[in-house]
Structure 1
Amino acid sequence: MPIVSLFNTPLGNLEIMHDGQAIHSAVFVEINPATADRTASLAGITIQSGPTSPFCELIAQELDAYFHQPNHRFQITLKPHGTAYQQRVWNALLVIPVGRTLSYGALAQSLQSSPRAVGQACKKNPITLFIPCHRVIGKDNFGGYMGDKDALSLKLALLKHEGICI
């Protein structure tokens, strides 16, 4: 059964779905406590808040390390679900160094793909922050984040945290 754990970060609540051994999704969310438990129970998901298991403690330690030392490289097992192409893009994102950005076009060229296809794979990234799609930007702008133009401020905050001049 999937477990959803909520972690409070300097940038807001991070909802992480995991199985106790690997992270399957991580997204920044706004939480409505009045409906969260009921909705989760209907979906067969257990909701936990904060570290309640050794794996959750590891996640909390990794998040703490990242938000105190931006060049921290996450050392946690990730298991994103996606197509073979999406997996290729997400693996390429993992090697973009902290404090650096890459354009959709440059990433696409390295994968022998198109910028639009790379953008779509970034949009479908289920493990934001841990798979750093925020480090991919447009040729003339910062692009979007999490498939939502309104989340651009979050992308900019992450880039600023990592030392990118905005």
Structure 2
Amino acid sequence: MQSPVGPLTIVVENDAVVALDWVKPLRDDDHPVLDAALDQLSEYFDGKRQDFDLPFAPQVSDFQKIFGKALCDIPYGETRTYGDLAKQLNRPAQAIGQACGANPIAILIPCHRVLSSTGLGGYSGAGGVETKVKLLQLEGAGSLLL
């Protein structure tokens, strides 16, 4: 799909979303989970959806699964710091940053809602920090960036 943050491709395997990439799709398949993901992302970008109701099955470590749940628990329009999540998950902040960078389902699993204690931090999606800012502004969290 075309989105405000560039072309996005959703990868579905075994009836679950396993990845979201910033590339043009190689092919266009018809699948109910893919159709639902595209619809929900469109609603999100139109400001009509705050949560995603999709099956996820990223190929990640056990810690990254726990971390992904913690990300999904951050409410729309709110942020947490790497340090906040480090305390919550009893892990070093560096591990939290690495897990954010390794998130294969960005936006849907909202790693853009995690900031450093001194500013934005990084973002692994195409466009880097500019994309992170756009997503946070879309959610009304732009005032947190000042």
Mapped to 1, the partners of 2:132 and 2:15 lie a distance apart of 27
Mapped to 1, the partners of 2:32 and 2:99 lie a distance apart of 31
Alignment gaps of 5+ in structure 2: none
1:157 aligns with 2:140: no
Identify the residue that residue 16 of structure 2 maps to in structure 1: 22
Tell me if structure 1 keeps the 8 A contact 2:10–2:34: no
Tell me if structure 1 keeps the 8 A contact 2:43–2:49: no
Tell me if structure 1 keeps the 8 A contact 2:12–2:34: no
Alignment of 1:6-155 (within 5 A): 7-19=1-13, 21-29=15-23, 31=24, 37=26, 47-48=27-28, 52-69=30-47, 71-146=49-124, 150-155=127-132
Mapped to 1, the partners of 2:48 and 2:39 lie a distance apart of 13
TM-score by length of 2: 0.89
- The residue type equivalent to 1:9 in the other structure is S
Partner deviation per Cα, 1:77-115 (whole Å, 9 max, x = no partner): 111111111111111101000010000001100001110
Alignment gaps of 5+ in structure 1: 1-6, 38-46
TM-score by length of 1: 0.79
Q: Which structure carries more strand by proportion?
A: 1
Tell me if structure 2 keeps the 8 A contact 1:108–1:114: yes
Mapped to 1, the partners of 2:38 and 2:16 lie a distance apart of 14
Tell me if structure 2 keeps the 8 A contact 1:70–1:162: no
